[in-house]
């Protein structure tokens, strides 16, 4: 079962807003609906957003009435901007859209219909590649997890955040599938509770031992010596190794360094943005404060109370032990190892 997939002439995806109470699906028949699904977090997770955006571009091409290549390109450029504006931080979104626009602008098409078919094939390839990449990341990272380890995990990075299998939760899954006895502490991940709602739901399906903990309890368990390794995802990684991830990651990294706990981010090379020299250049999305004051429609403070809601924070690379990619584990100096990983060079593993 894939988080997002092509279904006839529409994009089908799991409605992650309904979990864990209901496994529901939505079928999106316009590019505008796909953009809104990304904006309102029907679909979320950098790789899943990238795949959704790729299918959104294919959908835009197939629904266009354009009869010439030139007219179709004009429409696609407008839809590309719509999709890229839906959420600014996760680089996979722009990566997928730009990948399809590059194909459209290649000058290789004699007809608009030819372009439509090729774009759909390219979007499907993005989705298929994501599954294969996640499997390789899981294999690369599984060796980092010792038998009997307790792993601290933040947000949701499993199959729901990707097309299938997962990034950081994919490493946890791979370690479990290799017979390792593991336990996972899941930060609830406020304000949208991706850890307690989504990661716990996934681990329930897989039969992996876990406990949900308050975000504020992470330091407590580290101080008690109950955390052996910390695995998180990433939404954008700068050339120097600084990375943006779900809000709350930065403080985990600082605590990990204080307690000398290995701290890894797990992400495909499509999440690496070599055009940014450091994390200071990563755009950070600020979402509606209602997610803080009225989580899931339940108001917890008076309407007059003010709130702020950054969706991500940036963790400096100095707090990282390494970055797990499909091409191996990048280690300092990241300016070299990340460039090698993006170029497809095989890096060392976790042995």
Q: What residues are labeled active site?
A: 235
Residue with tokens 């409605």: 15
Written as six digits, the tokens of 121 are 């094939």
| b/e per residue 213-235 (b: at least 16 CB within 10 A) | bebeebbebbeeeebbbbbbbbb
**CA 157, CA 346: separation in Å to the nearest integer?**
23
Residue 248's Cα: distance from chain center in Å? 15
**CA 239, CA 128: separation in Å to the nearest integer?**
26
**CA 116, CA 38: separation in Å to the nearest integer?**
23
Written as six digits, the tokens of 10 are 């529409």
Burial class (CB in 10 A: 0-12, 13-18, 19+), 204: exposed
Strands (E), 263-321: 263-266, 272-273, 312-315
Residue 310's Cα: distance from chain center in Å? 17
C-alpha closest to that of 320 among 220, 221, 224, 232: 232
């Amino acid at each position: 079962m894939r988080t997002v997939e092509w279904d006839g002439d529409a994009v089908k995806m799991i409605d992650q807003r309904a979990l864990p109470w209901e496994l529901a699906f939505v079928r999106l028949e316009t590019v505008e609906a796909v953009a809104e699904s990304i904006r309102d977090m029907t679909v979320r997770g950098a790789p899943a957003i990238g795949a959704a955006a790729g299918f959104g571009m294919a959908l835009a091409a197939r629904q266009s009435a354009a009869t010439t290549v030139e007219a179709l390109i004009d429409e696609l450029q407008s839809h590309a901007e719509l999709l890229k504006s839906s959420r600014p931080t996760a680089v996979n979104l722009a990566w997928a859209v730009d990948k399809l626009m590059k194909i459209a602008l290649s000058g290789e098409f004699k007809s608009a219909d030819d372009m439509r078919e090729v774009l759909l094939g390219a979007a499907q390839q993005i989705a298929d590649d994501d599954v294969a990449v996640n499997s390789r990341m899981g294999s690369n990272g599984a060796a980092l997890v010792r038998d009997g380890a307790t792993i601290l995990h933040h947000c949701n990075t499993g199959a729901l955040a990707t097309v299938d299998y997962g990034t950081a939760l994919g490493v946890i899954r791979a370690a479990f599938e290799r017979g390792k006895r593991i336990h996972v502490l899941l930060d609830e991940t406020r304000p949208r509770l991706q850890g307690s709602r989504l990661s716990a739901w996934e681990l329930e399906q897989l039969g992996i031992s876990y406990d949900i903990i308050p975000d504020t309890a992470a330091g407590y368990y580290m101080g008690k010596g109950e955390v052996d390794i910390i695995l998180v995802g990433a939404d954008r990684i700068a050339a120097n190794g600084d990375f943006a991830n779900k809000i709350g990651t930065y403080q985990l990294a600082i605590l990990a360094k204080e307690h000398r706990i290995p701290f890894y981010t797990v992400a495909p090379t499509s999440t690496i943005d070599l055009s940014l020299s450091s994390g200071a250049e990563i755009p950070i999305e600020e979402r509606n404060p209602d997610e803080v004051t009225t989580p899931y429609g339940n108001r917890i403070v008076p309407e007059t109370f003010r709130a702020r809601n950054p969706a991500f924070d940036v963790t400096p690379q100095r707090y990282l032990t390494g970055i797990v990619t499909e091409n191996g584990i990048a280690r300092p100096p990241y300016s070299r190892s990340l460039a090698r990983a993006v170029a497809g060079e095989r890096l060392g593993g976790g042995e």
